[in-house]
């Protein structure tokens, strides 16, 4: 029996009570999404963790037999780590890992701090309320990704506009148009970097070799697109959700402000408690599978509930409480195993710097609207704020 999910305003504002009810009712549920697609939801932590490492659950859309309706991309953008089988995935990951090194991420630290400071200067110029999403959380990851990929300074404004439009679910036609612009832009950027390599990640990916193997043109473009997609959208909402969560827990906010050494632990708890991504990338069984006694046919669409797993009381003590001092901060927000997030170190660093800069620069930062009036995107997949109005008080440098 397929059940409709309660996709109403209450769910979009706070999906966690729905996940708790569904977990209590059973481990796996067959539901319909807002677009009418039938999917299987896996909600308990032990099953989600097992599913992330189950080779029978493929991310390759070629295994879909259930009429899966996803984000349509040109073929040249679709050959990325989220859409291919294990053998190709390992091959691409080995090549990308030769370029996307911990040292390269660490070398970005100074530029991330400088970008956060420049954006904080802009926030400080607002006499009243300012939207943190528009003026800080949205542009910061795009600046960082621009630096990482070597996007020329004079190309960053249109690049940023296309990326912003690509993530706006209100205008489907605009999304397709923006994807087309970004595709052509990345093709030109790859050609330019091939002709004149720089110190950026894209140049390093072009140069990467593994026993003579190298990335093809389509693979380079699709991987650059994935880095843009994951590195901007996810980080933007992680920063916003993180600040909102800290503002809702003033004692812990003060603790982090007094002791910046608590910030890395706070980021881990934000990842567990308030990560915007609700689900892992969809999967398709290559054969009939049993999950906790529920038979799922081959080719059906399976969604592994990351957000639900992170709040599962069978795994986490007092899971709905936000506690930066929590000893066990393990979570599934960045995946695990084969599909562990390649950009996890950058996401952690960027979020910590973004939040740390705000707390240092604006000791009196606060919400400029009642929490109940804040609105989330009407998205099944992402628990993300449309806007976060804040007052920052004095923005002078300490």
| DSSP string of 153-216, one letter each residue | GGGHHHHHHHHHHHT-TT-HHHHHHHHHHHHHHHHHHHHHHHHS--SSHHHHHHH--BTTB---
| Of residues 255, 233, 274, the one with CA closest to residue 359 | 255
Record the tokens describing residue 298, joined without a space: 């081959």
CATH of the domain at 301: 1.10.630.10
What is the pLDDT of the chain when averaged over all its residues?
87
Is 397 inside any structural domain? no
Q: What are the pLDDT digits (tens) for 199-256? A: 999 999 999 876 788 888 888 888 888 888 788 888 999 999 999 999 999 999 999 9
Is 32 inside any structural domain? yes
Q: What angle do CA 32, 33, 38 make, to 5 degrees?
A: 40
Bridge partner residues of 30 (DSSP): 40
H helix intervals, the chain = 9-13, 16-25, 45-52, 75-78, 86-99, 102-107, 109-124, 132, 139-149, 156-166, 172-195, 201-207, 217-228, 235-247, 250-258, 263-274, 306-310, 344-361
Mean pLDDT of the 14-25 span: 93
Distance CA 285, CA 63 (A): 7
Number of domains, the chain: 1
pLDDT band at 398 (very low <50, low <70, confident <90, very high): very low
From residue 202, how far is each of 124, 145, 221 by CA, in Å? Answer: 34, 11, 9
Mean pLDDT of the 151-156 span: 78
Does the pLDDT value for residue 144 go beyond 80? yes
Greater pLDDT, 28 or 166: 28
Does the pLDDT value for residue 174 go beyond 80? no
Model pTM score: 0.91
Is 396 inside any structural domain? no
Distance CA 225, CA 231 (A): 10
Is 276 inside any structural domain? yes
Is 361 inside any structural domain? yes
Distance CA 225, CA 228 (A): 5
Does the pLDDT value for residue 272 go beyond 60? yes
Does the pLDDT value for residue 321 go beyond 60? yes
From residue 343, how far is each of 19, 33, 97, 234, 371 by CA, in Å? Answer: 27, 29, 10, 11, 31
pLDDT at 349: 95
Is 49 inside any structural domain? yes
Does the pLDDT value for residue 286 go beyond 60? yes
pLDDT at 96: 85
Q: Which residue segment(s) compose the domain that 309 sits in?
A: 3-391
Is 85 inside any structural domain? yes
Q: Which residues 6+ apart lie within 8 Å of 195 measured at CB?
A: none
Is 398 inside any structural domain? no
pLDDT band at 293 (very low <50, low <70, confident <90, very high): very high
pLDDT at 90: 83
* Most confident option among 2-16, 88-102, 319-333: 319-333
Mean pLDDT of the 369-384 span: 87
Mean pLDDT of the 366-372 span: 93
Distance CA 273, CA 320 (A): 7
* Most confident option among 250-259, 331-340, 385-394: 250-259
**DSSP β-ladder status, 389-391 and 130-131:** antiparallel
Instruction: Provide the angle, in degrees to the nearest 10, between the axes of the packed helices 263-274 and 235-247.
Output: 100
Task: Give percent of the chain with pLDDT exceeding 90.
Answer: 51
Does the pLDDT value for residue 382 go beyond 60? yes
Q: What are the pLDDT digits (tens) for 46-76? A: 999 999 999 999 988 888 887 665 556 666 6
């Amino acid at each position: 029996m397929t059940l409709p999910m309660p996709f109403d305003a209450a769910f979009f504002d706070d999906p966690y009570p729905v996940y708790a009810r569904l977990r209590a009712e059973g481990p796996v549920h067959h539901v319909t999404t807002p677009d009418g697609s039938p999917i299987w939801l896996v909600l308990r932590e032990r099953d989600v963790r097992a599913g992330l490492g189950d080779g029978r659950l493929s991310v390759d859309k070629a295994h879909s037999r259930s009429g899966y309706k996803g984000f349509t991309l040109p073929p040249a953008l679709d050959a990325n780590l989220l859409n291919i089988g294990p053998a190709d995935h390992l091959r691409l990951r080995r090549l990308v890992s030769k370029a996307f090194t911990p040292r390269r991420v660490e070398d970005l630290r100074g530029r991330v701090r400088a970008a956060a400071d420049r954006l904080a200067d802009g926030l400080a110029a607002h006499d009243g309320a300012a939207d943190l999403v528009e003026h800080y959380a949205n542009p910061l990851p795009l600046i960082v990704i621009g630096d990482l990929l070597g996007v020329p300074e004079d190309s960053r404004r249109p690049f940023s506009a296309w990326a912003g439009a690509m993530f706006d679910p209100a205008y489907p036609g605009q999304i397709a148009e923006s994807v087309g612009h970004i595709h052509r832009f990345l093709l030109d950027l790859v050609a330019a970097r091939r002709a004149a390599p720089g110190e950026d990640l894209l140049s390093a990916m072009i140069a990467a070799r593994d026993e003579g193997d190298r990335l093809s043109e389509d693979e380079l473009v699709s991987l650059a697109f994935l880095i843009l997609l994951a590195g901007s959208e996810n980080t933007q909402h992680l920063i916003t959700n993180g600040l909102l969560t800290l503002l809702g827990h003033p004692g812990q906010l003060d603790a982090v402000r007094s002791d910046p050494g608590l910030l890395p632990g706070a980021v881990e708890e934000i990842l567990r408690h308030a990560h915007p991504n609700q689900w892992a990338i969809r999967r398709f069984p290559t054969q009939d599978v049993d999950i906790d006694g529920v038979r799922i046919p081959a080719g059906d669409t399976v969604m592994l509930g990351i957000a639900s797993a992170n709040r599962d009381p069978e795994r986490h003590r007092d899971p709905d409480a936000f506690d930066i001092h929590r000893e066990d901060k393990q979570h599934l927000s960045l995946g695990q195993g084969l599909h562990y997030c390649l950009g996890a170190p950058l996401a952690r660093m960027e979020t910590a710097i973004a939040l740390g800069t705000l707390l240092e620069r604006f000791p009196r930062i606060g919400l400029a609207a009642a929490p109940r009036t804040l609105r989330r995107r009407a998205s099944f997949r992402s628990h993300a704020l449309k806007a976060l109005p804040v007052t920052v008080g004095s923005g002078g440098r300490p």
